[in-house]
Structure 1
Amino acid sequence: MFTKTGRKARVRALTSTATAVVALTGIGVANAQEANEETTTRTLDQVIVTARKREENLVTVPLSVSVVTGADLDRLGVQRLDEALQSEPGVNVTPTPVGDLLFIRGIGSGQNQGFEMSVGTFVDGVHYGRGRSSRHAFLDVESIEVLKGPQPILFGKNTTAGAFNIQTRKPGDEFEASVDLHVEPEFGTFQTTGIISGPITENLLGRLVLRSFQTDGYVENTFDHVDEPSRDDLVGRGTLVWTPTDTLEVTLKGEYGDGAMEGGRSQVTQASPLLQQLIATVDPGAEFNLDHKKSGSGVAAPFNREYEDDTTYNGTLTVNLDIGEYTLTSISSYVGFDVGYSFDADFTPLDFLHQQWGQHWHSWAQELRLASPTGRKFEYTGGIYLATEKFKNAKDFAIDFAQTPLPFGSTYRIQNFSQTTDSWSMFAEGTWNLTDDFSAILGYRHTDDQKKANKELYWSQYGSDVPDPSITLYTGLGLGVAHFYKGIERSTDDDSFALTLRYKPNDVMYYASYTQGFKAGGFDESDISGNLDNINFDDETVDSYEVGLKADSLNGRMRTQAAVFYNQYDNLQVSQFDGVAALIVGNAAQAISSGAEFQTQLAATNQLTLSFAATYLDAYYDMYQGGPCAYGQGSFCDLSGKELTFSPEWSGSITARWEDQLANGWTYALDGRLFATTEFYTEADLDPFVRQDSFAKLDASIAMTSPDDTWQFSLIGKNLTDETTFHFANDIPLSNILGNNYQTYVDPPRTIALQARYRFH
């Protein structure tokens, strides 16, 4: 636990950092105004965001927002959300079998199927409430807004860390059609995207996007002599925009994605003497290093076969009606996914642990929102929100003890969980423009959340439904206590508030805000204790304080943002694998996330654009006496004063773009981005085996575009520094029998891809 002196040192460090950020920002803005402006006439494009549920200029929005444009994604051949945000300081997106781990400023949700997100994901105004639900939605993206810090008023309950506000591309008034081919030959990656868009009738526009993706995988299985994980995806989206009158716009969007995967990217990076001895009986040459090789039978049956089949689907109807100067918006949505996943739970070529599950989740939601006109003394946005969600998870954990020192035969642990969530809320945010320079913004949201669940766990003999007579042995080994709970319920009734002061005396806008938010509690669907009290976890709450500034300077050539924040979380929801056979969910008493952020963009010349972003983060458990322990340290550890997962002290990025024209009319563009981070932990027990050391990664591309924009050819390099890193690691099950063992999901190595695009005219 940190001493009082240590906490004072934290405050001094944060205060010094905040002072430096503000001072450097002021100096930068002042110097920019005085710089010689004669040589460069190009200005930065204005960035329009919808972070407050209406279109606004980024530099007028009084909260910390980072924006990644669709053009940025296209230039670097980005295919997934984690790729899109991997160079965003203070942000982490990690795909895992359970779901994507989403973290902002060191706060997020761990790997548990029962968890809702602390970082909300919204696509075209629709909440995607589970980590898996938005994977296929990352297609034909217009922009990604990263809203840092709690967003409870306009975005709702599950945004205690922030939100990803994703906008997809809409059909335009002119015909557009293109075909894109992305090829990475070393690992057999092929992606094809086709787009057709434009007017269908005088008042009806349409857009259709189809994408096919295949890859052989980048991890070599030295035992099976295959590359893993191979994947095959197909996803499509159709959008219609109907404008029967000047005051009515109706948008209908439907999307469907289907994917299949064989094999996995996990590898054993720490093996106890016992596990090494067992593996040596089938693979004497097995190694236990973090690299792009693994020893495992990831595609063999029955226990070791690893595969995934997932389907995502959604439909959204958005209606915007102008009533005088007011706008009434209705968003009706249905979002869901189905997934079947099977994997080798010992992560070795041994044939003794296997797990599989089948999940279904869907959500019906309706939002009705009224927005007043802008430019008035008083402006407001308010509305109501209704949603119902259903989640089902059926999973089994198979053990063949004949492969271990405890020859009890083969058995199945079967778990079934279902949950229904009904919620409603009403919200309002009002802006008082007290003077031309000064505004006060007050927000309020009331939320009612009701959950009802069923849960069961039982043992059966492998390959049958006959109860296993060895159940007392499994219970004694900590593998689970049989139980059945029906109709367990919990309810949450919460009021969230936010107050922001905004002051803009000149080209610099200053703001200060206080926000109170929450994330509803729930049920731990993975609990195996058989104790009803352990199934419930409590609501998570946050009190957030932030001051910042934004500025456009140098006649529109430079844009700067800076913020200092302090967030206090009570009952922070955490999840950790127990090292034996289950993910455990609980609440940390209190956690702090504080720090400073700075980002700037400069049109340095008519050809060169430079960007820089950095985050200083001090995120730690202020009080957590019943936390998880690393192997051999006991059952519960005092983590008070210890750092949170995915919370590097420093992270930052530098990007550069040079664009010019050749004598023959072709244009060329050179893009590069360097991301660097200090060390961080990927699991709450802070075991040395889950610590990722500091690293830096470089991505770059060169693109050539024909004079009429018909052809574009690109060469794209990712992780050109060829860093071997990971963002997910965990204990291998049965640590109480097999000892201290870890498996790690290695990130992709260096890749070089070719991309070609043809536009139809």
Structure 2
Amino acid sequence: MSALALAMVAGPAVAAAEDDRANDAQAIPDIIVTAQGREQRLQDVPVSVSVVSGAQLEQQGIRTLQDVSSRVANVRITTGSLVNSINVRGVGSGENPGFEQAVATFADGVYRSRSRTTMTALFDVDRVEILKGPQTTFFGANASAGALSITTRKPGDSFDYNASGLYGLSDGEYNFEGGATVPLTATLSGRAAIRVSGMEGFVDLPDGSHGPHDNSVQGRVSLRWKPSDNWTTDLRVDRARSRIEDYAPFQLTHCPAAAPFPSSSVCAAMLAANPDLDTKLDFNSQSLPSYSRFDFFETALTNNFDVGPGTIRTITAYSDMKVKQRQPLIPVAYPTASGHDPFPIEAKETYKFFSQEIRFESETGGTLEYAFGGYYQHGKLYYETQAGFFFNPGLFPSFPALVETVFGDYPGFDASYALTGAPYSTQRENSFSAFASLTIRPVERVRINLGGRYTDVTKKAHRYLVIGSSENGVAESLVPYDLATPVGQLPLPIAACLIMGCTTGDFATNKVHDNKFMPSVGVQLDATDDVMLYATYSKGFKAGGYSTSSSPSVFGPETVNAYEIGLKGSFLDRALTLNLAAFRMDYKGLQETTFDSNLASSITNAAGARSQGVEVGVGWKIAQGVRLSADLAYLDATYTDYKNGECTKLSQYQPSAADPSLTVCEANGGIQDLSGKRRAYAAKWSGSVGMDFTVAAAGGNEFRASPVVNFSSAYFMTATADDLFRQKAFRKYDLRLGYGPADRRWELAVIGRNLTNVATSSYRLGVPGADGSVLSLVERGRSVGVQLTVKN
């Protein structure tokens, strides 16, 4: 397996050091992590953790978490329409920007609650840790399904540099990045790093161009000040900017839909306007234009004070994120009254965040180890979504008559304009928490771990929805209607919302307040010097909140009781690592997103869900220059009690056996009992297997070959257990070939991914007005790139 794949076995200490050619050539070196807030050997941590170093990311030319997750069992990270979703062990947060993610992201201990910030994750990092299961004691309330912990590179006390350049021969990918550390004084050093990246795109578009067409730049300045041996201050300032054209090159599948779905005028109109329309999942799209604009700023100040019996650490952080994007939900062009896109969606998100943490950590190695601290965060969210509905009989057959009834007498009304709904929401949040952990060594080789965190979260929010018309369906040209003025037979706000499936009013309550104590307990037994057994229980919690969609949903908190037993061991003189974990996570109130036929979303709480399974990680240094690794998982993630789920599309048209005059969905009261059915992104089997080969060459150089296969069984992509939104089982093959000196001061490599060009999707959604047809975003196909890396 490649160095990256080797690093990402779920939990084992097989992440090879940058140069592991020690005298003991067969031993796999130790990996240091901060999964419990302080530096520890990975094999000593009673948590299932996957680790990858920044050097390995650089060598592999990987710059997205989506690529990382493809090589980790039970982890799925995707880029969606409104959010970037992280799912661990079949649990994540759904398609609504009002959610904090159940798998929380942290950079140097700083919480990043907004899902889009994952776009900046893999830049100039020392390592990335993916922790599975609730991590609430050390990482906070919202880490109810796991945590993604990023440690950036810090300035050292001597000059060093690194640089790499990659160019994709197949899709025009480019990635040029570098950094340098410079000592400034005897006590102060600095580091500056920059990345310029993007690609032409891997999906063919009708005009001969390709998408998504990405242009991104990231920069970071870091300072480290050590005025004395017991005082270290780190200051980090990050800036990121991304501009992506044809951001969402949707593809249309299942058009026309098979019986019993009705013949859709939307599909008919699209097929008529596009006689050569390709309706299978591949790398060709006739999607309408879309774009994404992302800007991010973050600064963090960390102080560490060694006070003798322990260390005081403070982390102060501020961030500011802005996102604007536009995409079509009718995936291809067809004639409308105005000639504009039939169903454009535009979203704007602004989020400002401040946090302060202080903690004390005792010295390690004694009979007692402990840590305690407090945390505060304040966030301010503004979110706006605008949907343009153009008046064409092919979109919704009832539109013309209804629109004429409602708006026909309205001054200045123009039927060639879009009926537009723009929900706006604002939210302020304050979170306070206190935590403590205690490790007791009652006898040799036994550790008892106790922990707990109390969290108090308050959110205040308001929303309003503007009904109006706009020339091209975007906010800049929105002309609002006077919602107090009745028109025709119906009051305007009622009629407008009949058309768009929305609600104009504020939230039912403008304040939600949740608090919870989350305990954890565990036992570790060092069976031998190289084998550790553990058993843990932890309680997780994620606060309730507000939807940002056209529905004014107020949702409650979710909680989880998680159990895990595991083994972490090294064998054959530490040439072989074997890590096993068996787990069960029982959720109550799991927050889920549902959609109606017009794609208006709302949020419900699933009464119960369970995720359970087994994870196996193996790393084996078979001989000098030959390594084998495997990361495998079995998962059973289902709803145990979710009687009011969203109906499948098929059940909305399939006649009920009990009463053929009703559909299956109608006979069930317009809902689906999802109890016993699988959750989204919960593949039964997933993982990766591969090898690394290193062969000596002339002049002290080496040839390196790293083949890997990534695989997954089938899984649903929405919280409906709907076969229309099901990704089939797949296997993907990657290969990296490298050449350079043994110390890797430079290396020239060829990197190939998905070499068999398997087409899979990262996101699927129904087409408005065409039940049975599906919008799909295809993942990257075959890619081949050339990379050069250098360092001192």
TM-score by length of 1: 0.90
Q: How does 1:22-421 map to 2 (within 5 A)?
A: 41-222=25-206, 224-263=207-246, 264-272=248-256, 273=263, 274-298=265-289, 306-350=290-334, 351-402=341-392, 404=394, 405=397, 406-407=399-400, 408=403, 409=415, 410-421=418-429
Task: Confirm or deny that 1:491 pairs with 2:482.
Answer: no
Per the alignment, residue 11 of structure 1 pairs with none
The letter of the residue matching 2:521 is L
Displacement of 1:708 in angstroms is 7.1
Task: Confirm or deny that 1:741 pairs with 2:773.
Answer: yes
The letter of the residue matching 1:460 is G
The letter of the residue matching 1:122 is F
Given that residues 326 and 373 in structure 1 are in contact (C-alpha distance below 8 angstroms), is that contact kept between their aligned partners in structure 2?
yes
Q: 2:728 aligns with which of 686, 693, 700?
A: 693
Q: 1:448 aligns with which of 456, 461, 468?
A: 456
Given that residues 384 and 423 in structure 2 are in contact (C-alpha distance below 8 angstroms), is that contact kept between their aligned partners in structure 1?
yes
Displacement of 1:666 in angstroms is 1.5
The Cα offsets for residues 157-192 of structure 1, whole Å up to 9 and x where unpaired, read as 111111111111122233222332110022222221
Given that residues 448 and 523 in structure 2 are in contact (C-alpha distance below 8 angstroms), is that contact kept between their aligned partners in structure 1?
yes
Task: Confirm or deny that 1:758 pairs with 2:762.
Answer: no
> Residues 627 and 148 from structure 1, CA distance in 2 versus in 1: closer, same or farther, beyond 3 angstroms?
same
Displacement of 1:514 in angstroms is 0.9
Given that residues 455 and 486 in structure 1 are in contact (C-alpha distance below 8 angstroms), is that contact kept between their aligned partners in structure 2?
no
The letter of the residue matching 1:367 is E
Per the alignment, residue 301 of structure 1 pairs with none
> Aligned equivalents of 2:772 and 2:621: distance in 1?
53
> Aligned equivalents of 2:785 and 2:708: distance in 1?
16
Given that residues 577 and 730 in structure 1 are in contact (C-alpha distance below 8 angstroms), is that contact kept between their aligned partners in structure 2?
no
RMSD: 2.0
Q: 2:479 aligns with which of 465, 470, 485?
A: 465
Number of positions where the alignment pairs a residue of Structure 1 with one of Structure 2: 709
Task: Confirm or deny that 1:516 pairs with 2:535.
Answer: no
Displacement of 1:487 in angstroms is 7.5
Per the alignment, residue 548 of structure 2 pairs with 525
Displacement of 1:71 in angstroms is 2.9
> Aligned equivalents of 1:655 and 1:323: distance in 2?
46
Query: For 2:266, what is the secondary structure of its paired residue?
Result: helix
Query: For 2:139, what is the secondary structure of its paired residue?
Result: coil
Given that residues 423 and 464 in structure 2 are in contact (C-alpha distance below 8 angstroms), is that contact kept between their aligned partners in structure 1?
yes
> Residues 64 and 227 from structure 1, CA distance in 2 versus in 1: closer, same or farther, beyond 3 angstroms?
same
Displacement of 1:270 in angstroms is 2.3
Displacement of 1:438 in angstroms is 1.1
Moved more, 236-245 or 405-414: 405-414
The Cα offsets for residues 379-422 of structure 1, whole Å up to 9 and x where unpaired, read as 10110001001110122111111263333333110110010010
> Aligned equivalents of 1:119 and 1:658: distance in 2?
34
The letter of the residue matching 2:690 is T
The Cα offsets for residues 488-508 of structure 1, whole Å up to 9 and x where unpaired, read as 001011100001011113121
> Aligned equivalents of 1:685 and 1:64: distance in 2?
29
The letter of the residue matching 2:579 is Q
Q: 1:673 aligns with which of 708, 717, 723?
A: 708
> Aligned equivalents of 1:332 and 1:620: distance in 2?
39
Q: 1:684 aligns with which of 706, 709, 719?
A: 719
The letter of the residue matching 2:678 is E
Q: How does 1:422-437 map to 2 (within 5 A)?
A: 422-437=430-445
The Cα offsets for residues 272-296 of structure 1, whole Å up to 9 and x where unpaired, read as 4422320133211112110011123
Displacement of 1:446 in angstroms is 0.7
> Aligned equivalents of 2:26 and 2:292: distance in 1?
49
Displacement of 1:97 in angstroms is 3.3
Displacement of 1:260 in angstroms is 0.6
Given that residues 164 and 178 in structure 2 are in contact (C-alpha distance below 8 angstroms), is that contact kept between their aligned partners in structure 1?
yes
> Aligned equivalents of 1:423 and 1:401: distance in 2?
45
Moved more, 349-358 or 264-273: 264-273
> Aligned equivalents of 2:109 and 2:777: distance in 1?
32
Query: For 1:154, what is the secondary structure of its paired residue?
Result: helix
Displacement of 1:715 in angstroms is 0.2
Displacement of 1:485 in angstroms is 4.8
> Aligned equivalents of 1:106 and 1:594: distance in 2?
9
Query: For 1:294, what is the secondary structure of its paired residue?
Result: coil
The letter of the residue matching 2:381 is F
Per the alignment, residue 7 of structure 1 pairs with none
Given that residues 207 and 240 in structure 1 are in contact (C-alpha distance below 8 angstroms), is that contact kept between their aligned partners in structure 2?
yes
Query: For 2:267, what is the secondary structure of its paired residue?
Result: helix
Task: Confirm or deny that 1:625 pairs with 2:660.
Answer: no
Displacement of 1:107 in angstroms is 0.5
Structure 1 spans left out of the alignment, 5+ residues: 1-24, 30-38, 299-305, 529-533
Per the alignment, residue 16 of structure 2 pairs with none
Given that residues 75 and 701 in structure 1 are in contact (C-alpha distance below 8 angstroms), is that contact kept between their aligned partners in structure 2?
no
Task: Confirm or deny that 1:703 pairs with 2:738.
Answer: yes
Given that residues 577 and 731 in structure 1 are in contact (C-alpha distance below 8 angstroms), is that contact kept between their aligned partners in structure 2?
no
Displacement of 1:632 in angstroms is 4.3
> Aligned equivalents of 2:739 and 2:347: distance in 1?
46
Query: For 2:184, what is the secondary structure of its paired residue?
Result: strand
> Aligned equivalents of 2:393 and 2:554: distance in 1?
35
Q: How does 1:473-622 map to 2 (within 5 A)?
A: 473-477=495-499, 479-485=501-507, 488-506=510-528, 507-528=530-551, 535-622=553-640
Query: For 2:115, what is the secondary structure of its paired residue?
Result: coil
The letter of the residue matching 1:571 is G
The Cα offsets for residues 3-59 of structure 1, whole Å up to 9 and x where unpaired, read as xxxxxxxxxxxxxxxxxxxxxx9xx99xxxxxxxxx983311111111010111111
Query: For 2:301, what is the secondary structure of its paired residue?
Result: strand
> Aligned equivalents of 1:313 and 1:226: distance in 2?
31
Moved more, 617-626 or 133-142: 133-142
Given that residues 724 and 772 in structure 2 are in contact (C-alpha distance below 8 angstroms), is that contact kept between their aligned partners in structure 1?
no
> Aligned equivalents of 1:480 and 1:546: distance in 2?
43
Displacement of 1:562 in angstroms is 0.6
Given that residues 380 and 430 in structure 1 are in contact (C-alpha distance below 8 angstroms), is that contact kept between their aligned partners in structure 2?
yes
The Cα offsets for residues 462-519 of structure 1, whole Å up to 9 and x where unpaired, read as 2442417565444334521322359700101110000101111312111111111110
Per the alignment, residue 8 of structure 1 pairs with none
Displacement of 1:205 in angstroms is 1.7
Given that residues 564 and 595 in structure 1 are in contact (C-alpha distance below 8 angstroms), is that contact kept between their aligned partners in structure 2?
yes
Query: For 1:501, what is the secondary structure of its paired residue?
Result: strand
> Residues 709 and 431 from structure 1, CA distance in 2 versus in 1: closer, same or farther, beyond 3 angstroms?
closer
> Aligned equivalents of 1:561 and 1:707: distance in 2?
29
Identity of aligned residues (%): 29
Given that residues 219 and 240 in structure 2 are in contact (C-alpha distance below 8 angstroms), is that contact kept between their aligned partners in structure 1?
yes
Query: For 1:346, what is the secondary structure of its paired residue?
Result: coil
